[in-house]
Amino acid sequence: MPLLGQQAASSAAAQSPPTSASATSSLFAGEAPLIQGASANTSFLPGDFNGDGLTDLAVATTTSIDWYPSLGGTSGMGPSQLVLATLFPVLMESGDLDGDGELDLITICGSDVCWMRNLGAGAQWASGEPITPLQPGTKRVQAVDLDSDGDLDLLFADGFGGTASWSRNTGGTPLFDPPQVIASIPGFMSFAHGADFDGDGDMDVLTRGGAQGALAWFANLDGAGSFGTAIIIDAGFAPGDAIAADLDGDGDQDVVTSGISTSVRLYRNLDGLGSFSPSQAVAGTGSVDAVRTADLDADGAIDLFTQTNSPQGTELAWFRNEGGPAPFGSSTPIATAGSSVSAQHLVDVDGDSDLDVVWAVSDIQWAQNLLIAPPWPSLGGALAGSGPAPVLQGDGDLSSGSVVTMSLSGALPGSTTALVMGLSELSAPFKGGLLVPNPDLVIAGLPVDGNGEHVLVDQWPAGVAAGVCVWFQHWTSDPGGPVGFAASNAILGITP
Instruction: Kindly report the average pLDDT of the chain as a whole number.
Output: 83
Q: From start to end of 349-410, where are the E strands?
A: 356-360, 364-367, 378-380, 391-395, 403-409
- Please tell me the predicted confidence (pLDDT) of residue 373: 63
Q: How far is CA 299 from CA 212, 270, 294, in A?
A: 39, 23, 11
- Please tell me the predicted confidence (pLDDT) of residue 135: 67
CB 492 within 8 A of CB 471: yes
What are the pLDDT digits (tens) for 234-250? 887 777 788 899 998 88
* pLDDT surpassing 60 at residue 22: no
Please tell me which residue, 87 or 418, carries the higher pLDDT value.
Answer: 418
Determine whether 123 is exposed, middle or buried from the number of CB atoms within 10 Å of its CB (0-12, 13-18, 19+): exposed
What would you report as the CA-atom Rg of the chain, rounded to the nearest whole angstrom? 25
Q: Which of 27, 65, 25 is closest to 49 using CA atoms?
A: 65
Distance CA 421, CA 437 (A): 6
What are the pLDDT digits (tens) for 346-393? 999 988 888 999 988 878 888 888 876 666 877 778 899 999 999 999
Share of the chain above pLDDT 90, in %: 34
* pLDDT surpassing 50 at residue 4: no
State the average pLDDT over residues 205-223.
Answer: 87
Q: From start to end of 197-281, where are the E strands?
A: 204-209, 214-218, 231-234, 241-245, 254-259, 262-267, 280-281
* pLDDT surpassing 80 at residue 256: yes
Residue 157: half-sphere exposure toward Cβ, Cα within 13 Å: 24
- Please tell me the predicted confidence (pLDDT) of residue 310: 72
Distance CA 401, CA 36 (A): 40
Confidence of residue 421 (pLDDT cuts 50, 70, 90): very high
* pLDDT surpassing 50 at residue 3: no
List CB contacts of 287: < 8 A, sequence separation 6 or more: 260, 261, 262, 308, 309, 310
- Please tell me the predicted confidence (pLDDT) of residue 259: 74
Q: From start to end of 5-73, where are the E strands?
A: 32-35, 43-47, 56-60, 64-68
CB 440 within 8 A of CB 422: yes
* pLDDT surpassing 90 at residue 408: yes
State the average pLDDT over residues 204-224.
Answer: 87
Phi/psi region, residue 403 (left: phi>0; alpha: psi -120 to 50; beta: rest), is beta
- Please tell me the predicted confidence (pLDDT) of residue 275: 93
Share of the chain above pLDDT 70, in %: 89
Buried b (16+ CB within 10 A) or exposed e, 434-473: bbbbbbbbebeebebeeebebebeeebbeebbebbbbbbb
- Please tell me the predicted confidence (pLDDT) of residue 286: 63
* pLDDT surpassing 80 at residue 13: no
* pLDDT surpassing 60 at residue 20: no
What are the pLDDT digits (tens) for 85-100? 887 888 888 989 888 8
What are the pLDDT digits (tens) for 262-301? 778 899 999 999 999 998 888 665 667 788 999 998 888 8
- Please tell me the predicted confidence (pLDDT) of residue 445: 95
Confidence of residue 137 (pLDDT cuts 50, 70, 90): low
* pLDDT surpassing 80 at residue 124: yes
* pLDDT surpassing 70 at residue 40: no
Distance CA 427, CA 392 (A): 17
- Please tell me the predicted confidence (pLDDT) of residue 390: 93
- Please tell me the predicted confidence (pLDDT) of residue 140: 79
Confidence of residue 326 (pLDDT cuts 50, 70, 90): confident
- Torsions phi, psi of 209, nearest 5? -155, 180
* pLDDT surpassing 60 at residue 324: yes
- Please tell me the predicted confidence (pLDDT) of residue 466: 72
CA dihedral 161, 41, 27, 245 (to 10 degrees): 20
Residue 40: half-sphere exposure toward Cβ, Cα within 13 Å: 30
| Direct distance between the N- and C-terminal alpha carbons of the chain, in angstroms, rounded to an integer | 17
Confidence of residue 311 (pLDDT cuts 50, 70, 90): low
State the average pLDDT over residues 37-52.
Answer: 78
Whether the model pTM is above 0.75 = no
Q: Which of 465, 322, 421 is closest to 15 using CA atoms?
A: 465
What are the pLDDT digits (tens) for 183-203? 888 878 888 999 999 999 999
- Torsions phi, psi of 263, nearest 5? -75, 165
